[in-house]
A = this chain, B = another copy of it.
Amino acid sequence: MVERDAEAIAILGGTGDQGLGLALRFARAGRRVVIGSRKADRAVAAAEEVRAKVPGARVEGYENAEATPLAGIVILSVPFEHTAATVKGIREALRPGQIVVSMAVPLATAIGDGAVRTVGIWQGSAAELVADLAPDGVAVVSAFQNVSAHRLQHLADPVECDVIVSGDKAPREAVMALCALVPGLRGVNGGPLANARIVEAMTALLIGLNVRYKVPEGLGLRLTGLPEA
């Protein structure tokens, strides 16, 4: 059993392409990773996959609500249409001081339309929907929407992408620090959580660009002219 560890990173939906990619990268950086899934056995299998690719990785797999209390930062990497249900399912397991990271994008695939468009969210963005559902004292941060799963999983190369991180200052900076663990990722201060409205939509634009330019490994984004940290 993994004990509660503020330095650990939980990745719910860590069996999916993007969540697994983050798990591989954070484990490779030496961080303890807790993979969550709706089914514990799938999470355990994903953890084994991480260990196979990253020798010495500290990684465990659990059902989502069991994984949640074990880490300081809980990344939601479930498909957008499962986001609300997932947050409701872990609500009782979250504790004040924890940080929940929303990387969901409200793609129109959720309503049977295409991935190059989004649907409108009443709260403004998927991240603000998560914030609406999260218990008091739990900070919600928006990040990682535009990072290619393929690039994350291809451990030999840097990811070459800026991550626009939005939310309140202290949790935002904690998530920006996570970005620095991954070669080629750079966390950028994206201001208040409501800016997730823009960042989430950018993913739909990038998906269209990936199709038009035939880049199955996924394009990345860089800001030019940013002062060195």
In the complex, the answer to whether B226 meets A219 with C-beta atoms within 8 Å is: yes
* A213 interface residue (CB < 8 Å to B): yes
* A188 interface residue (CB < 8 Å to B): yes
* A208 interface residue (CB < 8 Å to B): yes
* A177 interface residue (CB < 8 Å to B): no
* A30 interface residue (CB < 8 Å to B): no
Q: How many copies does the complex hold?
A: 2
A185-203 residues at the B interface, CB under 8 angstroms: 188-191, 194-195, 197-199, 201-202
In the complex, the answer to whether A212 meets B225 with C-beta atoms within 8 Å is: no
In the complex, the answer to whether A198 meets B202 with C-beta atoms within 8 Å is: yes
Docked pose: A219 CA to B215 CA in angstroms: 25
In the complex, the answer to whether A213 meets B227 with C-beta atoms within 8 Å is: yes
Q: A116-B191, A191-B116, A221-B221 are in contact. Are A215 and B226 (CB under 8 A)?
A: yes
- Selected A-B contacts with CB under 8 Å, 9 pairs: A160-B225, A188-B209, A189-B213, A197-B201, A198-B202, A199-B205, A213-B226, A217-B225, A219-B226
5 A-B pairs with the lowest CB-CB distances in the bound complex, closest first: A220-B224, A160-B224, A222-B222, A198-B201, A198-B205
